[in-house]
Homo-oligomer: A and B are copies of this chain.
Amino acid sequence: MTVPAHTARIAVSDLPSALAAVRERGLRLSCARRIVLEALYEADGPLTAEEIARSGRCDLASVYRNVEALETAGLVRHLHVGHGPGLYLPAAAAVELIVCERCGARADVDPRVTADVRAAVQAATGFTPHFDHFPLAGLCPRCAYDRQEG
């Protein structure tokens, strides 16, 4: 995760196009790169490096090395969730999340809502908030309830 968050991203929407894009960029399509891309395109949401390694029976160091190479190539991006490890996903995935600080539960945020938030914060501060690298953090309904009761 030493790759800048705003590397130009390649918009490929499926695994075959992602594999083709690796070759088109003159990168070697190693076994580990194929495993990383397969895991990310088949997942329902962002994955940790450990999850990628487990899914492909690939060693963790190799996963880290290859997500970084694929991120530099613009095919993968990462986001940060609370105190936990980084999460990886296809670069073009338009995922905007809110993550529970307590239990790690995640929910998608409707792009219309994030667009409104962006506009309100920009009008107030001049800064443009992004939610794709550092998602919104907070409490899920259950943890908010537990906290109120506790």
From B1, B83, B129, B140, A98 is in contact (CB under 8 Å) with B129
Q: What B residues does A5 contact at CB under 8 A?
A: 101
Contact present for B117 and A121 (CB under 8 Å): yes
- Asked if A138 CB lies within 8 Å of chain B CBs, one says yes
- Asked if A42 CB lies within 8 Å of chain B CBs, one says no
Q: A6-B147, A107-B125 are in contact. Are A130 and B139 (CB under 8 A)?
A: yes
Contact present for A128 and B109 (CB under 8 Å): no
Contact present for B1 and A83 (CB under 8 Å): yes
Q: What B residues does A110 contact at CB under 8 A?
A: 124
Main secondary structure, interface of A, reads mixed
Contact present for A137 and B147 (CB under 8 Å): no
Assembled-state Cα–Cα distance A21/B127 (Å): 37
Assembled-state Cα–Cα distance A144/B125 (Å): 13
Contact present for A141 and B127 (CB under 8 Å): yes
Q: What B residues does A140 contact at CB under 8 A?
A: 126-127
Q: A109-B121, A113-B121, A116-B120 are in contact. Are A133 and B98 (CB under 8 A)?
A: no
From B107, B125, B134, A126 is in contact (CB under 8 Å) with B107
Contact present for B113 and A126 (CB under 8 Å): no
From B6, B107, B137, A133 is in contact (CB under 8 Å) with B137
